Amino acid sequence: MTDTAPGLPRLGITLFSLTLEQRRPGTDLVTLIREVASRGLGPGLEMVAFQSLRGWPRPEASLVRTVRGVLDETGLVPSCLAINLDLALRPGSLLIDDEAYDYLAVQLRGAAALGFPAVRVGAECGPDVLTRLLPLAEELRVRVGVEIHSPLTLDAPPVAALKDLFTRLDTGWLGFIPDFSASMRAVPEAVIDAHRAAGIAPALTELALRVWDEPGPAMAKFGELERRAAALGARPDQIGNLKMLLTMHGRMDPARWADFFPHVVHVHGKFYGVTDGRDPSIDYPAVLAVLREQEYTGFISSEYEAHAYTARHSAFDQVAAHQQLCKSILEAR
C-alpha cells in the first residue's frame, strides 16, 4: 500500500475514480476492491454509496457482510462513504427538514453497519439538518463531512454559515470535506480535448478560459460567459458545456485551506491527470503544505475525474501516480 510516514495525512482511493473500470464486463464490487488492494492503492477506501452499493440506502444484510468481508480480507481501511441528500426525491416539491433528516439518518446507519467512520454529504445539507444529525452521528461514531467542491469557496454564504455552525458546536462529529477542485491553477487539458471532440469552436473554449482566469467568484461569471459566448454564435447546449468549465474548476487561493481547520473530516484529492510526476492543473505542493502545517492526519482520497472527459488513460495507473506524487511531497523535508 502507498501510505505515508506516521504523523502525515494518509492516502487512499475513492472508487469513483474507477467509474469506467467498473463498467468492464465481469467486474463487480468485490473484484474491483480486490484489484485496488492488489495494486497497492490503499490503505484508505472510499466509495459512493449510490454508485457502488446495490439497494442503497437499504442494502441487503448479505451485501453488508460481503463488503466488510472483502475489506477484512484485503486489509483496506474504510475511510469515507459518500451519501446523498436528494432534496428533489419527490416530484413537485422539495423534502422538508424532517424528511431530509430521515433520509440521511438511514444512510448514516448504513455507513456504520459497513464500518465507515465518516460520510460525505453535499452543501445542500444545511445547518438545521446537520444539527439534528449530530446526536445520531455521536451515537454511531460516524463523522459527517460537507464536501466543499468548486464552485463553492469559504466565502460562499452557505459555506460561511457552516463554518459558523461548526465553530459554535465545537464538535469533532461534524465538519468539512474540502475538495482540491476548489483551488485549481489551470483548466485540465482533458477538458479542452473534450471541447474539441464535441465540436466546440476553439474561439469559444478560449473565451471560456479567459473568463475563468478573470478575478472574481465563479458564480458571478456565468452571465458574462453566456452573453459573450452567445455573441460568438454559441448554441445553448454549447453554452452549457462552457459554463461547466466555471463550475468544476475553482480558483480559491490554496492558503485559504487553513481556514477549513480545525473542522476537517476527510479530504478529496481531486485530480485530472499526473504527467511527469506533477499535476499541471492543481498546485499540490501548496495545498499539501497547508495540510501538513495543520497537522492533518486523516485520509486523502485520490479522486481521478478525467474519466468524465476521456477514456485514454488507465485510472488505476493515474491513481498510482497521484499517490506517489502526494507521498513524495508530504514526506519531503
Q: Which residues are catalytic?
A: 149
- DSSP, res 216: S
- Ramachandran area for residue 146 (φ above 0: left; ψ -120 to 50: alpha; else beta): beta
Of the candidates 20, 18, 7, the one whose C-alpha atom is nearest the C-alpha of residue 302 is: 18
13, β-bridge pairs: 45, 302
Give the whole-angstrom CA distance, residue 113 versus residue 120: 16
The C-alpha angle 124, 257, 145, rounded to 5 degrees, equals 35
Instruction: With CA atoms as reference, report the closest residue to 319 among 267, 273, 266, 268.
Output: 273
Decide: residue 249, CB within 10 A, 0-12 exposed, 13-18 middle, 19+ buried. buried
Distance CA 171, CA 262 (A): 10
